[in-house]
Amino acid sequence: MDAEELFEKFSPMVYNLALRLSGNKSDAQDIAQDAFLKAVRGLGNLREQSFAGTWLYRITVNVWKNRVRSEKRRSFWRTLSLSWGGGDEAPALQVPDPGDGAEAALEKGEEKAALEAALAGLEPEERAMLVLREIDGRSYAEIAEITGKPLGTVKSGISRAREALRRKMSGLVQDHGT
């Protein structure tokens, strides 16, 4: 399989995974692009064509996790520099304009935003496993192969992620209802 075949066959899959993990289109495009660049560089290491999808999923998850770690470090140093007198300006709050959408559309948007916020609050490893299982429909065995984790770790990680998501969503629903 050459780079062009790899891209044609797997680009929608890789982009969708990146979108589910990152939560926004711009980051998903960057993650997918980085994943394909890494894949093309390592194409010679791909031994069996049948494992190309799993291999690309693993690369995509790893690219995303590296971005999360890197962003956490940048955020830490940015916060630290602000607290040390780096400036007293607060970042502008961006409030989306609901436009002329109906109340139902607004509520659906709020539900989606609440779910995305709850997902974003999960540990990166658990979020990746949950997205692979619940959104992409991957088997536990496939997720173990993609993440490089033992099957038992995958099962318990998904269970923890589901429970954490339930708690976060429950709290958001209660807060929203009062």
pLDDT at 53 (0 to 100): 83
Whether 6 shows a pLDDT value over 60: the answer reads yes
Please check whether residues 77 and 4 belong to one and the same domain.
yes
> Of 86, 115, 145, which closes a domain?
86
Summarised one tens digit per residue, pLDDT across range 96-149 is 444 444 555 556 667 777 777 788 888 888 889 988 888 888 899 999 998 999
Domain with 158 in it: 103-178
42 vs 85 pLDDT, higher one = 42
pLDDT at 82 (0 to 100): 42
Please check whether residues 57 and 119 belong to one and the same domain.
no
Question: Could you tell me if residue 91 is inside a domain?
Answer: no
pLDDT at 75 (0 to 100): 57
Please check whether residues 121 and 80 belong to one and the same domain.
no
Question: Could you tell me if residue 153 is inside a domain?
Answer: yes
Please check whether residues 8 and 64 belong to one and the same domain.
yes
Half-sphere exposure of 114 (CA within 13 A, CB side): 18
Number of domains in the chain: 2
> Of 86, 119, 138, which closes a domain?
86
For residue 73, give the CATH number of its domain: 1.10.1740.10
Region 156-177: mean pLDDT is 77
Please check whether residues 117 and 174 belong to one and the same domain.
yes
pLDDT at 103 (0 to 100): 56
Please check whether residues 80 and 128 belong to one and the same domain.
no
DSSP conformation letters of the chain: --HHHHHHHHHHHHHHHHHHHHSSHHHHHHHHHHHHHHHHHTGGG---GGGHHHHHHHHHHHHHHHHHHHHHHHHHHHHHHIIIII--PPPPP-----TT--HHHHHHHHHHHHHHHHHHTS-HHHHHHHIIIIIS---HHHHHHHHT--HHHHHHHHHHHHHHHHHHHHHHHHHHH-
Summarised one tens digit per residue, pLDDT across range 47-83 is 665 578 888 999 999 999 888 877 766 554 444 334 3
Report how far Cα 111 is from the mean position of its chain's Cα atoms: 18
DSSP conformation letters of 3-30: HHHHHHHHHHHHHHHHHHHHSSHHHHHH
For residue 164, give the CATH number of its domain: 1.10.10.10
Please check whether residues 114 and 154 belong to one and the same domain.
yes
pLDDT at 149 (0 to 100): 92
Question: Could you tell me if residue 94 is inside a domain?
Answer: no
For the full predicted model, state whether its pTM sits above 0.75.
no
